[in-house]
Structure 1
Amino acid sequence: MNKKQILTGFLAVTIFAACQQGTANQDKAKDGKSISAGAKVPAAPDAAILTFEKESYDFGKIKQGEKVHYDFKFRNTGKTPLIISNATATCGCTIPEIPKAPVKPGDEGIIKVVFNSTGKMGIQDKVITVTSNANPEINEVHLKGEVTEP
């Protein structure tokens, strides 16, 4: 065999293996139909819906070292209990606290957020990403303002 034949054979085996890997990564949806890996199964029509009263809070100007406390109020406007599994912020200076119990349809809840401005200066936009069983699964709220010198 010459180099060209070996290279062609190697490429054929590589392509075949890649094709096999792609079909092995398929999952089954609830109805038994195949879906690609990473694809989202559409939410049920009766899923919980997380509706925030305000998606952004502007705390104005504060002096460096001050803490901002804010409660993001929300309502479950869906038809099933809302379960918030996680809330994360863009940095460790912002700490969200989620409700531990499910929120029944029609009920309200609060995500408490504390922003510590120590070591921060200038315009701030802290994004809090909320993960839940709602439709959509990911929601974001913002804490905005300006940190000035003490």
Structure 2
Amino acid sequence: MKKVFFTLFIGAGLVACKNDDKKTTTQVINQDSLAKQKIIDGMNGNNPAPVADPSTYTTIQWLDSTYLDLGKQKEGKEIEISFRFKNTGTKNLVIETVTAQCGCTIPEKPEQPFAPGEEGVIKAKFNGSGHDETRKQVYVKANISPDGADTLTFRAQLVK
């Protein structure tokens, strides 16, 4: 009987305790996790959200293609890729981020804004690692509508 009363007493004490500190800690952890997830999503090109106010949206035209077939390339040789574009909108085009699918591809982000009608290039270097056919993606986040992001893809047949 003493054990039952002791258990009830402990249970009542736990219920009576305040949880204010626990809620605050949970909220901080959740906000921190959300911020980290947004960074990861941006790096992976997932969930691309508009990067600017809709009043600053412009449009982009990829002059060659968003898919480049580089054909046969020597395995282990560094390959340079260029994706040409033109700002076809009425506002300045601002490239916010340019990220790659993996560490074997290093993209270069243009730093300057592009005026309406102005052309530019997004370059990337692929280290040529691997063998056989490879497909890699480069993710571009900018003040373009409707979703703020474009995916550029290149393919190469790596030979010895």
Larger Rg: 2
TM-score scaled by length of structure 1: 0.68
1:50 maps to which of 60, 82, 91? 60
Is 1:128 the equivalent of 2:138?
yes
- Distance in 2, matches of 1:129 and 1:41, equals 14
Query: Runs (4+) of structure 1 moved beyond 6 Å?
Result: 39-43
Hey, which of these two has a bigger chunk of helix by percent? 2
Cα RMSD of the aligned pairs, angstroms, is: 3.2
Q: Which has the larger share of strand?
A: 1
TM-score by length of 2: 0.64
- What residue ranges of structure 1 are gaps of 5+ in the alignment? 1-38
| Separation in 2, partners of 1:68, 1:41 | 30
The equivalent of 1:95 in structure 2 is 106
Identical counterparts, % of pairs = 33
Equivalent residue letter for 1:51 = Q
Q: Secondary structure at the match of 2:85?
A: strand
Distance in 2, matches of 1:66 and 1:129, equals 23
1:40 is displaced (CA, Å) by: 6.8
Kept after mapping to 2: 8 A contact 1:98/1:110: no
The residue number in structure 2 matching 1:145 is 156
Gaps of 5+ in 2: 1-48
